[in-house]
Structure 1
Amino acid sequence: MTERSATTGTEAGPTGRRGVTRPQAWYLLFGFLSQLGLWIAMSTLPWYALQSAGGIRALAVVQSFQFLPGLVLAPVAGAWADRLRPTTMLRWTTATSTASIGGAGVLCLGSSWGHVLGIAVLAALMTATSVVVFSAIQVLLGSLVADQDRTRLMGLAGMNGSLCRVLGPAASASLIVLGGASTALAAGAVSAALAALAVVPLRKIERFDASRPRGRLLDGARYVRSRPELAHDLLVFTVVSLIVLNFSTLVPLAVDAWYENDPRVLGAANAALGVGALAGGLLLATAKAHAATGRTVATATLGTAALLVIPTGRSFPALLAVLVLLGAARLVYTTVVQVRVVTATPAEHRGKVAALYAMAANGTTSIGSVLTAAVVAWGGLAAGFGLAGIVSLAATPARRTRTGDRG
């Protein structure tokens, strides 16, 4: 049985009461394979950057390039998602991601600044494809699940992605030890290539109305401006993403300072974030908590855990425990805000408004990575984690309960 989406007016697939449908299973498989490849790559590149001639400066450059497309390309990706078939976009972007990861594996054979800059450009291309995938999926989900059940499916997707957060860093660390960064990136490219095959069955269930008004590039921003509650959510989320969610920079720096950049420790640290995200996804998939409550608890936990890293981080078990908390809180916070933003938007603007979320989630990291690296270089790790904790705790009172929130 299917239900009709209150927002889109289209049949949106089986509800959560009937379990996971076959199309939803294909969607989850695509997400697993594509994210696994990306996580292997994203876990390998910081290690490579710190081992290269540039050290911390190379890490800042790679991370900045890596997330810059989220800031620049997101609006265009959102407009494409509202105009083109989502499955077509997924096939092309997955192929591009495969080529980018494989190319980075070749460049990792060298360690000069030229190689670092080449890898930074390819890292930017990897993120560019992920931004397009994100917007396309937000449109495709309208064919897979009803709006009222989207949080549950996104919780399952969060669990799915969290497994990749565990397996990706673990695979990266193991393959670096066995054959170096190039071997790890080759495995990432294979996983990304397999993801393209999972897209094919989704085309059969895709509901795409070519006659639907597409609007213009800035219509998503205009719609958000007309909805103060939505604008407030995105503004606070942007600040938190800019300053707090820079674990891809903070964690490698902590491992470098405390554990001599041991790839096994870095892999375990990233895996701990993934285990936490897995727990957060399980909570979202099963709990009935109100969305506003979830956001408030998540930001409070982010702030508290970030402040606990410095006094506990030199104890490896304690560091892993705190990173599990950070991973869970990050997954809950980002997913609840994402669902809130998308389900509060009509179908003709969903791709463009989802792109604004992607700009906040990924694009600000290009600036935040440089800011975080500069703060750590100036005041040490205590300043970096301390700033993240204080900003997150300061953002917690800003989470107001709203009538339109959904659990």
Structure 2
Amino acid sequence: MSEKLPVVTIVGRANVGKSSLFNRLLGQRKAIVHEAPGTTRDRVEAIVEWQGRQFWLVDTAGLEKEKDQLARSVQEQIKVAREQADIMVVTIDGSTILSEEDAKVIKQAQKSGKPLITAINKTDRAGQPIEREKLPEPSIPVSAIHGSGSGDLLDAIVDIASQYPAGEASTMPTLALLGRPNVGKSSLLNVLAGHERAIVSGEPGTTRDMTEIRVPYEGRTWHITDTAGLRRKNKTGKHIERFSSLRALGAISTCEVCALVLDATEPATAQDQRIAGMVKEAGKGLVVVVNKWDQTERTDNARGQLEQTLGASFQFVWWAPLLLVSATEKHHVNKLLPFASEAFSNRQKTVSTKDLNQTLQAAVADHPPAGLKDRHPKLNYITQTDTAPPTFTVYGRHTRFLHWSYKRYLETRLREGFDFDGTPIRLQWREKQEAGRANQKGRGGAS
């Protein structure tokens, strides 16, 4: 079953280098576990691995500079971090004196009661030395631009994270309902529960906390959660959208399958794509549920047009089944758990090495990989190395020259041969001469 990954949040005032630090920690050698196609350009969350420990890293950059917004921005940032984060990294500008805004962030962070790490950024720049005695410990000098100290910072994060359990394993399969406000998540939950368990209102944002139910299905008891809607940008500032992604992390981390709920009367948005990208990166099962199907104009090709539109918007999760429902009419809602159950089972699936290699050999025979003149990729064999999600390691030569389209082709052949509908699968590549070689600790630029 799934375990909850620790959430590490980077906080701080504007222009201290939070986003640069975020990118530095992700840009280290194999720091980011899996790329998530479909996320927006200002991506603000990712799974990081360091010393065998995984955690969510969240950037809360984007606070507005205006004086009338500053206090509100800091308060909102710390409030969400306090609710969702397990560890907070307070980032300050080490090239200047400690400012009043820095002191506000530190004070509010300390009130949260969460473990704190102070990242003194921009230490490569000449300036007045920061008064470290005023900072929460541990305080670690770093340079997000040059990478110095980034390894020490990651060590400190992992050291604190290791003092807590990796997460309580779920004793039942879990399904999280995710989506924007007012798409009908609570209505879906009530239909699944058989009674009104969650408050339903036409006003977006009615659900403020997670509502949970338990539903028996085919010998298993499903734990289903209705999460608060992830809000769009609004007039209170761009930082609101960044905070909203935090609210989904806990649910995604602890579930096996996610149902991304869309509104059939509105096209898919970048925020919907971001949620799908988060689910894929976390390696969780996914069902795309289009609610309010009864409110759309019924034409002969309406379904086909909608499927084509959504297929283009969510092509990076083409393996996720699409379900059209109406919660108010209770139409096809009973199909959600069968889809979720299939995704759950496929996440746990194992395939024999013999069958995998037969599929690999057939795929290569049908379509050999292209390469450069002296760097022609050769794929020798494949084996499954993990489940939840299914992970496969392919051994060969010059695998780094494989085009992304060929990797997609191999994934498609595996899906066609072994049915992995509803779950991401991961392909890892190892050079034959590197087999058995010990992994080296450390990352480029880290100290």
Q: TM-score w.r.t. structure 2 length?
A: 0.23
Higher strand fraction: Structure 1 or Structure 2? 2
Higher relative contact order (CA 8 A, sep 6+): 1
Higher helix fraction: Structure 1 or Structure 2? 1
Q: TM-score w.r.t. structure 1 length?
A: 0.25
